[in-house]
Amino acid sequence: MNWTFSIPAILIFILLFCFSLTSFYFFFRMILGLRKLEDRNFRSSVFPKEPTEAEVELFFSPLERTIRWLPTIASLSMLLGLLGTVIGINSAFGAMEAQGKVSLDVLAGGIKDALNTTIVGLLVAIPSLYFHRFAENKIRYISELMVKDFSKVHETP
């Protein structure tokens, strides 16, 4: 298999690789922090008394700001994959025009770049969207646990 790519495709691969690292970093950083909050003792040390709505919002605000990057990374990855597709198809037709004939050999390089950048863009976007949904649900679960923690305190026997 021929592993040579055009310069635009290589640049797109590098950007997509950076996006994938960023996506994994945000996800794992957030999940490690949220796992601590599943422990009731840790939650009670963070919030010894019932927090106000403003305190809860202030507490979860950095997490919510962080997970907002995940759909942005997914969107940019899909768009970069599409850009690679357009560049690859354009270069294939440019090579065909330069040679003045239609042949599979002339089209193959540009089509290969187009398909590979699309594949890599989707391979970055799909996990980023999954990570976003997973982290969103985890934050919701932790906030529900906090509500349960303090609703038990106010119950009368």
Nearest to 51 by CA among 150, 153, 142, 152: 150
Asked whether 34 and 131 are in contact (CB, 8 A), the reply is: no
pTM exceeds 0.85 for this model = no
Query: Residue 16's pLDDT is what?
Result: 94
Asked whether 43 and 145 are in contact (CB, 8 A), the reply is: yes
Query: Which residue positions in the chain have pLDDT lower than 70?
Result: 1-3, 152-157
Tens-digit pLDDT profile for residues 51-92: 888 888 888 888 888 899 999 999 999 999 999 999 999 988
Query: Residue 143's pLDDT is what?
Result: 87
15: how many CB neighbours lie within 10 A of its CB?
Answer: 18
